Structure 1
């Protein structure tokens, strides 16, 4: 705009600055810290020690394992939500996906995600990853792979904890649908040679905490690699607790 003549010109107005905070990195850092603490506690176990000595350690161990599981799933959910947010705001780091693909992703972002898969509603997180993957790659994820099954089982474990119902557990029963996790990680060392049920007593421990963290990182690195983007958590290395 060109101004001619003499005089004073005063421009008024306002500018709003918004800040979008990313929390996925903090969730996985929390999970890592909890998993490491759980491992440190179990390293204090002494063969033949009495339960009276181990009870306080066991309770603390379970608390940290619980934290690692909850935070691992929180990382998975916040990361995919942040991905769709990036698409919605047309962030620079996702533009390589393609203009048409981003438009389709935004259409799904605006809707409430409804999983067509038969089963519990808690698979909604998994469906968000499936939706993004299929739109970008033009094909679905092989859901029967070990990685996908572990992802689904991790969410189921998280939900069993956060939406807990006190059910009777019999020797041959599996009311929480979690017995398939047996053998995937080392059971809580404080529960050696006891008759308690697998969940929650033997399940929650350093081995489960490590499994939860590693599955969440493995899956998101797989997802970002498959859609051709650099993982936001590439700098986070899987923890090696010496129990795998």
Structure 2
């Protein structure tokens, strides 16, 4: 004979759960995610190019490859913008009080100036590179030199990103070349093997793994130099998704 099912009173348990409910707040730093995305998309583009090269297949346009390249270049710029916005907003939101905060090493006077710039100086509307300069000046540093690397390269990466995001179709061929062609030819970047030498240099020939690798590394180099000038260690320097965590078991 089956036993009668055990009856459980759930009313009091629900009351306790409700009384002890806890709200958890989190703060995400997407700069780290964007940098990882830029690197991942770049690697994917490189693998696509390597596969075609090794198989000696005929060159043809690969929409997936083009997507990886666009994703990597845009994510590189998004990383840099997110990084500087995170620094300003950590100050504005008062997220600088504990000793391990990313912006804790900055002087209080500098943080007050940076908070004013964001809240009352319309700093959030400035381009990313100008935000970086503003943060440097507020902390008693010189702004980046326009003609020096990696600033100059990053400015060009931003131009590529803008050409892709705000795309305007052009008829290219012969003497008709894209305005970025001369600047990019000067970088001597490895070309995209998935396209013909008869195709326009920009966008077809230059938008490949060589370009994406240069783009994300340039943006990271500028962010590293900026962080070193301010004596800070932002989130992207503390978390590296590209490196697998160590196995605690051994």
TM-score bucket (shorter structure): 0.7 to 0.9
Matched, 1:30 2:37: yes
Q: 1:112 aligns with which of 92, 114, 122?
A: 122
Mapping of residues 32-71 of structure 1, within 5 Å: 32-46=39-53, 49=56, 51=58, 54-55=59-60, 58-71=62-75
Separation of aligned partners in 2, 1:227 and 1:157? 28
TM-score (norm 2): 0.77
TM-score (norm 1): 0.78
Matched, 1:95 2:104: yes
Give the drift of 1:167. 1.9
Aligned to 2:194: 190
Matched, 1:128 2:131: yes
Compared with structure 1, are the counterparts of its residues 15 and 233 closer, same or farther at alpha carbon in structure 2 (3 Å cutoff)?
closer
Separation of aligned partners in 1, 2:174 and 2:139? 46
Listed as ranges, the gaps of 5+ residues in structure 1 are 1-13, 116-122, 240-244
Aligned to 2:230: 227
Q: 1:75 aligns with which of 75, 79, 90?
A: 79
Structure 1 range deviating more: 74-83 or 134-143: 134-143
Separation of aligned partners in 2, 1:174 and 1:228? 43
Give the drift of 1:86. 1.1
